A and B are shown apart, each in its own frame.
Chain A
Amino acid sequence: MRRLLVAAAVAALAPLTATAGSLTLFASGEDLATEGFAAPKLTRDGWALEFTRILATFDRITAFQTDPPFMADGPAIAGTAVALAGPFTVDLVDADARDLVELATVHAPEGHFNALAWALVPATGGEAAGYSLVLEGIARRDGQEVAFALATADSVMHACGEYVGDARKGFVTAGGAAELEITLHLDHLFGRADKPADDPMNLDAPGFAPFASGGRHALSLDGLHLGHVGEGHCHVTML
């Protein structure tokens, strides 16, 4: 009888197994996190930054298949949803050769996951407890060297459209593996010396000057829009 029940359970799961693949979510601070801000990619005010660690905590993560495609034009995403249990606290400096840090892999139905909701939230424990994003490192300019630690307790919800990058991502096929990515654009915080001074990003980025006294500084994420999906944009809500 027990064998019969097991067989029945396997049969019931078979259609799901046959039509499902896997979806792996990564986080990235791109090369600016792993290699820092080095010439010509200095901060907009000319500082070189070397990060020792960037602790980011992600939660409330849901991947969606949307049709028509969600275009990051509002906070609500509707579609076939797959939740990825969080929270995840990761060090974006300790990334692989693609500048990626794996967060989780889940089973997912076939289809194109072309939208992603996620939040930066304060960690509830560990070294980053109480903070959603902590950036630590050394800044250098004109022979001056400054150790810094920037931390924010802000919670920020992101509703993002499709990942934009060298290849399209998120296509789950039967038995196949697909990827999605949360991307933090650190140049929206520090600006970039290799871009025009009147580039809107440089006009809005605080740069490193506000933190040049060194030590620990509080950081506000309001209005910075660090969160992306590759080069794709997200609708942002401060929580």
Chain B
Amino acid sequence: MSPCSRRLGAGVLAAGLIAPLPALSHAALIEAEAVQAIRLQALYDTGEPMAGAQVVIFAPGAPAEAWGRGSTDAEGRFVFVPGPEEGRWTVQVRQAGHGAMAHVETGAAAPVSVASAAAPGWADRAVTIALVAWGALGTALFAMRGRRRSDASS
């Protein structure tokens, strides 16, 4: 945990200890840490974003099984934090009968992007997935601890 996120966590903890709690409130613990994430953008060859497209992620150790799923945002972007497995992470993006794959290597070597390619002049909407970023993103992890009525009133 970075010094900054440590300070944030400590501050939240301190606030929880000092502030009076309503009888039915919940105690909250927020831990923040910086993690490395892969951010992609999926576009049609017209430049139009693939907004709301289906995303399936495949991990290096089990490339035939879906490791995670999601969908792109309005700009065709998708961010995910890969697991600890080093190797080739594959992302498949599909929408309305069009699809493409992208591959990102993780590990000792710097990440390598192999984006899908689209030849100009194709007669349909070819798809391009490009690696936009590989880097540290601040992510807050929320841990909610419920308080029973007896705990709250004690």
Contact at A200–B125, with CB atoms within 8 Å? yes
Q: What is the CB-to-nearest-CB distance from B131 to chain A, in angstroms, rounded to a whole number?
A: 13
Is A21 an interface residue when CB atoms closer than 8 A count as contact?
no
Instruction: Tell me the bound Cα distance from A72 to B118 in angstroms.
Output: 8
Contact at A185–B124, with CB atoms within 8 Å? yes
Which B-chain residue is minimally distant from A232 (CB atoms)?
Answer: B99
Q: What is the CB-to-nearest-CB distance from A69 to chain B, in angstroms, rounded to a whole number?
A: 6
Interface string of A102-141 (1 = CB under 8 A from B): 0000000000100000000000000000000000000000
Chain A contact surface mostly: loop
Instruction: Tell me the bound Cα distance from A164 to B90 in angstroms.
Output: 12
Partner of B123, one of A71, A195, A201: A201
Which A-chain residue is minimally distant from B112 (CB atoms)?
Answer: A68
Interface size on B, residues (CB 8 A): 27
Is B58 an interface residue when CB atoms closer than 8 A count as contact?
yes
Contact at A224–B97, with CB atoms within 8 Å? no
Interface string of B115-131 (1 = CB under 8 A from A): 11111011111110000
Is B39 an interface residue when CB atoms closer than 8 A count as contact?
no
Interface string of B88-115 (1 = CB under 8 A from A): 0000101011111101000000000011
Is A158 an interface residue when CB atoms closer than 8 A count as contact?
no
Partner of A71, one of B92, B94, B98, B115: B115
Instruction: Tell me the bound Cα distance from A205 to B125 in angstroms.
Output: 12
Contact at A71–B124, with CB atoms within 8 Å? no
Instruction: Tell me the bound Cα distance from A164 to B100 in angstroms.
Output: 7
Residues of A within 8 A of B99 (CB): 164-165, 230-232
Instruction: Tell me the bound Cα distance from A94 to B22 in angstroms.
Output: 70
Contact at A68–B123, with CB atoms within 8 Å? no
Contact at A225–B124, with CB atoms within 8 Å? yes
Is B63 an interface residue when CB atoms closer than 8 A count as contact?
yes
Is A96 an interface residue when CB atoms closer than 8 A count as contact?
no
Is A53 an interface residue when CB atoms closer than 8 A count as contact?
no
Instruction: Tell me the bound Cα distance from A167 to B66 in angstroms.
Output: 9
Interface string of A222-239 (1 = CB under 8 A from B): 011100001111010000
Q: A164-B94, A231-B94 are in contact. Are A171 and B123 (CB under 8 A)?
A: no
Residues of B within 8 A of A161 (CB): 101, 116
Contact at A68–B114, with CB atoms within 8 Å? yes
Contact at B117–A71, with CB atoms within 8 Å? yes
Q: What is the CB-to-nearest-CB distance from B134 to chain A, in angstroms, rounded to a whole number?
A: 17
Which B-chain residue is minimally distant from A201 (CB atoms)?
Answer: B124
Instruction: Tell me the bound Cα distance from A75 to B127 in angstroms.
Output: 18
Which B-chain residue is minimally distant from A229 (CB atoms)?
Answer: B99
What is B's interface to A at a CB cutoff of 8 Å? 44, 46, 58, 63-64, 92, 94, 96-101, 103, 114-119, 121-127
| A–B Cβ pairs within 8 angstroms, 30 of them | A69-B101, A69-B114, A71-B115, A71-B116, A71-B117, A112-B63, A164-B92, A164-B99, A164-B100, A165-B99, A168-B58, A168-B64, A185-B97, A188-B123, A188-B124, A199-B125, A200-B123, A200-B124, A201-B124, A204-B124, A223-B121, A223-B123, A224-B123, A225-B122, A230-B99, A231-B99, A232-B101, A233-B100, A233-B116, A235-B119
